[in-house]
Amino acid sequence: MIRNVNCEPFVIGLYSGVKKPSNVCEYLSRFIDEYNLLHTNGFELESKRWNIKMHSVICDTPARAFVKCVKSHSGYHGCDKCEQRGSWMGKMTYPEMNANLRTDHSFRRKSDEGHHIGDSPFLEARIGMVSNFPLDYMHLVCLGVMKRILLMWIKGPLCSRVGPRVVDAISDAF
């Protein structure tokens, strides 16, 4: 999406394949080179100079880890927003509420060495590696919190379950 211009969001890049690309640097190199050129020089359209600045990189959770070259959300140092070491409780959890927050500066310094598995090509684009990568609504809400709530309503303790008629009504409504 182009901000400050009345237009709909549009896709800049899309990947489809039976597996993810094997080399993130090779996969992103042409995009990063072109972005850096446009960011530095801008471009001219209809006698007006336009400057380019990347606002956000929108990826689902696995793709975000891939392009940032960091541990997955299921790894011990996988949290994108804080620097705590996770705890395994049948799944990876990050229970500390007062952990140091990850910042663009701490990311570039690699202050949490366990978080990084390489150097992301996006580092060359001089964008915020924390602030310009928003979290993934689909995995966090739709497949996370809402999935748990729905399972609680259907299969949870009796005190939280809803009846089959309510389940049918919800299903029919959507």
Q: Hey, which residues does 88 pair with through a beta bridge?
A: 92
**In terms of C-beta density within 10 A (0-12 exposed, 13-18 middle, 19 or more buried), how is residue 129 classed?**
buried
Question: Which two structure tokens, joined as six digits, stand for 107?
Answer: 């990311």
Q: How confident is the model at residue 4 (pLDDT cuts 50, 70, 90)?
A: confident
Give pLDDT, residue 33: 96
pTM: 0.78
- 74: containing domain: 1-135
Higher-scoring residue by pLDDT: 140, 129: 129
Same domain, 150 and 74: no
Do 1 and 12 touch, CB atoms closer than 8 A? no
Same domain, 144 and 130: no
pLDDT of residue 109 exceeding 90, the answer is yes
Same domain, 127 and 174: no
Same domain, 113 and 164: no
pLDDT of residue 143 exceeding 80, the answer is no
Burial profile 58-71: b = 16 or more Cβ within 10 angstroms, e = fewer: beebeebbbbbbbb
The arithmetic mean of pLDDT across residues 4-19, rounded, is 80
Identify the three-state secondary structure at position 108. helix
Q: How many domains does the chain have?
A: 2
Same domain, 129 and 148: no
Same domain, 125 and 140: no
Same domain, 59 and 18: yes
Same domain, 96 and 141: no
Which range of 4-8, 14-18, 25-29 scores highest in mean pLDDT? It is 25-29
Same domain, 89 and 168: no
Do 134 and 56 touch, CB atoms closer than 8 A? yes
Same domain, 36 and 17: yes
Same domain, 125 and 147: no
Same domain, 123 and 156: no
DSSP-derived pairing of the beta strands 48-50 and 87-88 = unpaired
